[in-house]
Amino acid sequence: MTDFHQDFVEFALSRKVLCFGEFKTKAGRLSPYFFNAGLFNDGESLGRLAQFYAKAALAAGLRFDVLFGPAYKGIPLAATAAVALAGNGCNVRYSFNRKETKDHGEQGDIVGAPLEGRVLIIDDVISAGTSVKESVDLIRAHGAVPAGVLLALDRMERGSGTLSAVQEVSQAYDIPVVSIVTLDDLVNYLEDRPEMAQNLRAVSAYRNRYGINS
């Protein structure tokens, strides 16, 4: 696990974005951990989150011209990640969509840069992949090319079949899906901390039951 992966896990824990307990997922499973990116809700934490997104995108060598943030959660992610990327020498444009098309003033369904060239979708997690499908359809409708998806966390958890939601998205649209951290990173972090042995046992048991291979 690289330094920025470990740093992100510690950061998420310190903000209580990542916490342990018993939480019911959308799939009805009882998960021993929960990740709520909405708790990155002040300037300092959002700015740090953006830096982690920038590091993950640059480390993965993704090629893209525009960052796209699906409304609503993706809007601040796209804007702040674009600022962070510019600070790392990668100046790209960003845009986001409206839930409803505006027919006056600044018309249309896109705010910010036009969707053109290679467009990278940014989000927090992928659950059912619905948001990504809508984003890909919108990007293609504007004549642009989906360049991939950038996430905060990949839970590496099976969907309805043998693949995870992330793997299903990558396979369905033939695009890379990159995350700041994965469930494997979380397990590696816990393995190095004896005081968190109980959490490690719970997360490992959950991964053995519902997880997919790396």
Could you give the CA distance from residue 43 to residue 19 in angstroms, rounded to a whole number? 21
Question: To which residue do tokens 């470990």 refer?
Answer: 6
- Catalytic pick among 26, 55, 99, 104: 104
Whether the Cβ atoms of residue 158 and residue 131 lie closer than 8 Å to each other: no
Q: For residue 203, give every residue at least 6 positions away whose Cβ sits within 8 Å of its Cβ, in sequence order, or none.
A: 20, 32, 33, 183, 186, 187, 190
Q: For residue 78, give every residue at least 6 positions away whose Cβ sits within 8 Å of its Cβ, in sequence order, or none.
A: 67, 68, 69, 94, 95, 96, 112, 122
- Active site annotation includes 104: yes
Determine the 3-state secondary structure of 71 from DSSP: coil
- Catalytic pick among 5, 24, 26, 102: 102
- Active site annotation includes 5: no
Could you count the other beta carbons within 10 Å of the beta carbon of residue 110?
Answer: 18
Tell the burial category of 171 from Cβ atoms under 10 Å away from its Cβ (0-12, 13-18, 19+). Answer: exposed
Could you count the other beta carbons within 10 Å of the beta carbon of residue 56?
Answer: 21
List active site positions. 102, 104
